[in-house]
Amino acid sequence: MLTSELIYCQPVLNPSLTDVTGTNVNIISKVLSLVEKTVIQSESNSALIVGQRGSGKSAIVKQALQMVSEQNHPFKVIHLNGLIHTDDRSSLREIALQLDSGSSGRASLRTFAETLLHLLAVLQGGDRTGTPLIFILDEFDLFTQHPKQTLLYTLFDLVQSQPQPMAVFGITPRLDAVELLEKRVKSRFSHRQISVYPPAQFKSYLQVARNALEVGIHDSRNRKIASTPYRTDFNAVVSQLFEHSDFVRLLRRQFDFFRDISSLHRILIPMVAALDADSPYLRLDIFQASVADQLVDMKIETIQDISLLELCLIIAMKQYLDQGIIKFNFEMVYDEYKTLMGRSGSVSGSGMKLYKKAVALKAFEHLLALELIRPLESGGNLENDPHLRASSSIMSTAGGGSRLASSNILKEFTMVQLLLEPSHIEEAVLKYPDCPPLVAHWGTNAL
């Protein structure tokens, strides 16, 4: 209830309230002047805006466009996103849609060529002559993967050759994005590059955090909101927070690790989301708890939850690693596991038993499902069959591939690789709940 009330005025909940100018004055003015050149002085332009994830690129562009639109000059913005418009066909369709938003549905029926022609016709004249066009290509690097880069080529070429004013802004986290352009595309690009950085000083980082939490006096349409006693108190509590050393220390930690604003928002939001009628003000203890919830090494946690048998198998694999052997299959691991269990007479006393192969195989497959081990593609087994090899590599590029592969070979023999460092294993063994001393010994000592 409370956050829905705050959403009108609190930036962390409502990104459109964020004023990103504070730390980015220079960058915004650069972007702004480029846009103004196109919109007001009818000059065409192209530029890349580069910066790490969450550094505020999209927000900066948005704000610059907002500022221009307040000057009452006509212009049209076309937003494309490389994640959504994954080929030239869909990009063109989207451009067409955004250009004549009146007759939206129909344009999508056009063919590739028709859409292109339509686009060019709109650009070249007709009733729209002169309306400056601003293209924003978010995730710019993904557009370079379109076959032949036709879209990029067309746009950059138009920027150079058309009388109609237009600007193309690419947004990307890749510093080497220009190098992804084909030669003929590259030669048409202005090579103007604007870098965006997250705040460099902790002080400005703190200021961003404070701005994000404090409720403002404007809503997202920039209308003034009346101040209420609750809002005044709320901001007073925020001020107190920033005087608390533990709060500042935790923010400092986040700053030293990440620095970008998205990650700052990530740790602040739980505290805000937890507000309710019973506790209407931000609470340090909730902040501390939610930060602690996030400070985990997931791999080690995953190992702590596996069964003792699975842990023993991992330790058996570690024995191989210690000998410099990095590829093994289930048979080899089970053999080593048997050796371990047989090595020390005290096994019987410790209540551990040697599990049958089939039970161990089930455990082994569970480790695969958790992606603690990974089947090796080549496996050394697909010797002469290019078909098989090709298909298996397609599957594994897709990411998953945790199955003990292929109909081609008994799963016991598929070679796998352990995706854990020996030091990880040692740490996990030491933390494993109720670990029998014997297993702890195996896990931490090279035998």
Ligand X SMILES: Nc1ncnc2c1ncn2[C@@H]1O[C@H](COP(=O)(O)OP(=O)(O)OP(=O)(O)O)[C@@H](O)[C@H]1O
| Binding-site ranges for ligand X (CB under 6 A) | 15, 18, 20, 22-24, 51, 53-59, 173, 208, 261-262
Of 248, 402, 441, 444, the one binding another protein (CB under 8 A) is 402
Q: From the CB of 141, what's the least distance to ligand X, in Å?
A: 11
Of 100, 114, 371, 421, the one binding another protein (CB under 8 A) is 371
Map residues 47-86 to x or -, x wherever contact with another protein holds by CB under 8 A: -----xxx---x----------------------xxxxxx
For Mg ion, which is the closer residue by CB, 58 or 211?
Answer: 58
For Mg ion, which is the closer residue by CB, 38 or 58?
Answer: 58
**46: which strand partners?**
168
Q: Using an 8 Å Cβ cutoff, are 171 and 55 in contact?
A: no
Q: Using an 8 Å Cβ cutoff, are 34 and 167 in contact?
A: yes
Of 173, 235, 347, 440, the one binding another protein (CB under 8 A) is 173
- The crossing angle, in degrees rounded to 10, of helices 437-444 and 422-431 is 160
Q: SS3 for 170?
A: strand
Q: From the CB of 155, what's the least distance to another protein, in Å?
A: 18
Nearest to 13 by CA among 278, 275, 202, 200: 275
For ligand X, which is the closer residue by CB, 51 or 379?
Answer: 51
Of 224, 285, 383, 445, the one binding another protein (CB under 8 A) is 383
Give the span between the Cα atoms of 222 and 216, in whole angstroms. 10
Half-sphere exposure of 131 (CA within 13 A, CB side): 15
For another protein, which is the closer residue by CB, 233 or 293?
Answer: 293
Question: What is the footprint of Mg ion within residues 237-296 (CB under 5 A)?
Answer: none
The interface region with another protein, picked from 185-193, 209-217, 233-241, 263-271 by CB under 8 A, is: 263-271
One-letter amino acid at 304 equals Q
Nearest to 34 by CA among 49, 20, 45: 45
Q: From the CB of 193, what's the least distance to Mg ion, in Å?
A: 16
Q: Using an 8 Å Cβ cutoff, are 304 and 291 in contact?
A: no
Q: From the CB of 347, what's the least distance to ligand X, in Å?
A: 32
One-letter amino acid at 248 equals V
* 58 lies in the site for Mg ion, by CB under 5 A: yes
Give me the phi and psi of 373, to 5 degrees please. Answer: -125, 155
Q: From the CB of 208, what's the least distance to ligand X, in Å?
A: 4
Give the span between the Cα atoms of 429 and 304, in whole angstroms. 8
Residue 230: burial class (beta carbons within 10 Å; 0-12, 13-18, 19+): middle
Residue 56, contacted partner among another protein, ligand X, Mg ion, none, CB below 5-8 A by kind? ligand X
Q: Using an 8 Å Cβ cutoff, are 238 and 210 in contact?
A: yes
Q: From the CB of 375, what's the least distance to another protein, in Å?
A: 13
Residue 363, contacted partner among another protein, ligand X, Mg ion, none, CB below 5-8 A by kind? another protein
* 11 lies in the site for another protein, by CB under 8 A: no
**Residue 307 DSSP symbol:** -
* 329 lies in the site for another protein, by CB under 8 A: yes
Q: From the CB of 32, what's the least distance to Mg ion, in Å?
A: 18
* 305 lies in the site for another protein, by CB under 8 A: yes
The Cα angle at residue 200 between residues 270 and 251, in degrees rounded to 5: 30
**Residue 9 DSSP symbol:** T
Q: From the CB of 265, what's the least distance to ligand X, in Å?
A: 6
* 392 lies in the site for another protein, by CB under 8 A: no
Give the span between the Cα atoms of 415 and 325, in whole angstroms. 12
Q: From the CB of 230, what's the least distance to another protein, in Å?
A: 16
Question: What is the footprint of another protein within residues 225-254 (CB under 8 A)?
Answer: none
Q: What residue ranges in 261-335 does DSSP mark as E strands?
A: none
Summarize as ranges the residues that interact with Mg ion (CB under 5 A).
58
